[in-house]
Structures are given as C-alpha cells and as structure tokens.
Amino acid sequence: MAGGRGAVPWIVQDGVLAGPGASQTLPYLLALARGGRRVHLLSVEKERFLFDPRRAESARAELRAAGVGWTALPFGHGPAATRTAAQLLRLLASARGLIRRERIALVHARSCLPALVAAASGVPFVFDMRGFWAREKVDGGLWPEGSVAHRTFERVERALLRRAAGIVVLAEAARPLLPPLSVPVRVIPTAVDLDRFRPDLPPPPGYEWLRGRTVLAAAGALSNWYLREELLDFLTVAIAADPSTHALFLSEDGAGRAARDLAARGVDPARITALGVPPAEVPRWFANCAAGLLFVRAAPSKKGSAPTKLGEFLACGVPVVATSGVGDTEALLSGTRTGILLSSVDPAGYHRALAELAALRREGPELVRRCRGVAGERLSLGAAVRSLEELYDEVLAAAGR
C-alpha cells in the first residue's frame, strides 16, 4: 500500500470473485485507489473461484494495476462453525500483520463477522453493516427465534456498533433500528458504476435477438431471500399474456434449476434463457432487457438492505418490478416512477403490474433517461465513495490521525 492518503484495509468474508463482492467491493476499492486512498483487501474466497486462473488472475491484475494489495484466503471445508472460526482466525492473523507492517490507523469491516476481526485488531474501525446480520439468520430460517446463537450474536452486533468508530448502513429505513450512537453514521446504498452499466451497450455476441423481445430478467442468487415461486408464477403469467415476452435468468448458482422449474409450469423452453454469467458480462445483458425483477422476501431484517441489482438495472435505463418492504426500494421507486411495486403476489397483482409496466415502457427514451438519472443521483459509485471518504476523514480526525 504505497503512497496516497491514510491506508484503510478492507476485511471481507464473502469474497470478491463472485456475487455481491464482485459487484460492490471491487468497484469501491478501485475507486478509492483512483482517488488516492491506500487500500488493501483481506478476503475469504471460495476455492472454485480462487483457483480459477482466468477469474482470479483477472481480478488480481486489476487490483495490482490500481495499486491495491490483496490477501485472498481460501474458504475452507468442514462444518460451518469450524470453517467460520478458522476463517476468522486467519483473517485476524493477516489483519494484525498488515496493521503492524503498515502502521494502519483505521480498518473497514464489511459485515458483522469481519467487524469482530476488526474489533480484535486493536485499531479504530468502520462497521459497514450490510444489514442486521443476527436478525437475518432468524428471518432466513437458519436460527430459531430466541436461540442461543440469535441472542448471542444480537448482543455481539450491538457491542460492535458501540465499539465502532463509524457506521455505514444501506438504507434510511435502517436508522430507526439502530441503538443510540455517538459516532458518525452514513447511509450508503449499494452503488453502481455508471461507466460499466450503461443503456447503450450492445447485446452479447450471439444474442442480438434480445432486442426484439420483451426480456424480463432475474439475476443473482435465485434462492434464500428471493421469492422464487412467486417469481416463477409472475413469469408464467407474463409469458402467457404476451408472445414477445422472454424470461432471462442470470446466476452462477441457480439459473439452470430456475429455467427447468419455469418450463415445468408449461412455459415453452424456447422462451427461457438461463446462464451463469461472470460479473464482467452482466452489464450487456441488463442493457438489453425490458425490466429487471426484484422479488425479495420482506422481513424485519430487510429494512436494512439495498438490492444490488436495483442500481445496475436503473443505470442501464431499465425499470424494475419489485416487492415492497426492502430497505428504501419502495420509497425510491414510488417517488421517481422508475419501476413498479407489486400490490400483491398473486395473479391479480401480476396482471396489474404488467399493465403498469407496459404503460411505463411506452414512455420510451424518457423512461431510459429517468432511470439513468435516478441511478446517477441516488445510487452512483462516485457519490458512495465520496460519502465513504468523508466518513474516513471524520473518523481519522476524531482519532487525531
């Protein structure tokens, strides 16, 4: 981490070679480095991505060219609790070594478990919450309500909030759920790189026919928090109602299964495309869609969330059809006319949403400009990085650094 302003290592447990880490963590680090901030990434990566020469070397070369250091640790094997403990111990050892060598004054911890590592490292840290982790485990059905794990980690999360030198949350809707705090809090939603996600991108080679279809796209993890069955029902209704409608699933994990399940509902497989698309190729697909589908299950913990794909679709000039109860999504869409909120997850609600979407799309280029404008004003990577830099400077000034 040579040169530039005060060094801030990032500790990330979810990896940066796929999923949200690729679309969120890497762009932030590169933008911070371009602005003169010294950054180093400590991450845990799944072996199938870490040992994929094309993917890992591409990321490593991009980080190296920007002057960003990277310590990538393997995900590991075995029972979840044992594996997670080993990950945290390796992250802590790497963090302490880096802090000692580079005289680090501030650490950025992305989510709850990395914040535990940061708290144990002995220097001030920014707690980038990414949501209410303990509550998400309960809402996601992984922990029973009131279990020992739930109660323990809810206390840990609150202790980390009190211990942190600064807090980042993803949505204004999360603020009322925080305990009283005496440190700065920034709302920084998941951001989009406007240079990568643009309306003018051509279709991927071999898929030029996309431009002649009404493509409805679902991307990312198609399980866990996704309302998967409702999504498939919506697509079944949409395809039956309009012969030009085509379903597109983009996921490195569940696209094929989603396509099979949709076909099992009687949908012609010729009207379904399912692909495992690397993050670098996603913008071309989004730019050639009619709408993005964000069918996320509402739960108490989701008030602190911000769907990554929301900004990416909007930056490509593409409206979204979304469920309510997730972070600030409802307020943003209803206030900007850049998408449709489902009034109900049933056939009547689906037909209403499709009619509203058709009316919205008739605005043509004006809709594209409006979606792009909202992404630039509210969800851009540049604005997010500026807010993060201000937080770093405030925290370092308070610490006398």
Domain, as residue range, for 334: 208-378
CATH number of the structural domain spanning residue 18? 3.40.50.2000
**Strand blocks (E) in 288-328:** 291-294, 320-322
> What are the φ/ψ torsions at residue 108 (nearest 5 degrees)?
-105, 120
Instruction: Judge whether 195 lies within some domain.
Output: no
Instruction: Tell me, yes or no, whether 201 lies in a domain.
Output: no
Q: What is the pLDDT of residue 108?
A: 97
Task: Kindly indicate the confidence band of residue 394, based on its pLDDT and cuts at 50, 70 and 90.
Answer: very high
Determine the average pLDDT of the residues in 361-381: 97
Shared domain check, 138 and 88: yes
pLDDT at 399: 80
Residue 83 covered by a domain: yes
In percent, the amount of the chain with pLDDT more than 90 equals 80
Band the pLDDT of 2: cuts 50, 70, 90.
Answer: very low
d(C-alpha 369, C-alpha 366), whole Å: 5
| pLDDT tens column, 56-95 | 898 999 999 999 999 999 999 999 889 999 999 999 999 9
Distance, in Å, from the CA atom of 261 to the CA atom of 226, rounded to the nearest integer, reads: 15
Same domain flag for 392 and 361: no
In terms of domains, do 131 and 216 share one? Answer: no
Do 159 and 146 lie in one domain? The reply is yes
Q: Domain tally for the chain?
A: 2
pLDDT at 33 over 70: yes
Q: Return the SS3 of 90.
A: helix
d(CA 113, CA 316): 33
Is the pLDDT at 3 greater than 70, yes or no? no
Q: Work out the mean pLDDT of the chain and round it to a whole number.
A: 93
Residues 18 and 165 occupy one common structural domain: yes
Average pLDDT in the 158-164 region? 96
> Does some domain include residue 66?
yes
Residues with Cβ within 8 Å of residue 20, at least 6 apart in sequence: 14, 190, 220, 308
Q: What number is the average pLDDT over the span 253-279?
A: 92
Q: Give the Cα separation of 249 and 282 in Å (integer).
A: 11
Tokens of 373: 């404008």
Based on the domain organization, do 252 and 391 belong to the same domain?
no
394 and 245, same domain (yes or no):
no
Average pLDDT over residues 185-207: 95
Q: For the whole model, what pTM was predicted? A: 0.91
329 and 388 in a single domain? The answer is no
Residues 126, 244: one domain? no
Residues 174 and 238 in one domain: no
Assess whether 69 and 162 both reside in one domain: yes
CA 261 centroid distance within chain? 25
Indicate if the pLDDT at residue 4 is higher than 60: no
Per-residue model confidence (pLDDT) at position 140: 87
Structure token pair of residue 46? 């799944």
Looking at the structure, tell me whether residues 107 and 222 fall in a common domain: no
- Tokens representing 282 are 């996603």
Q: 5 near 36, Cβ under 8 Å? A: yes
Q: How many CB atoms lie within 10 A of CB 363?
A: 13
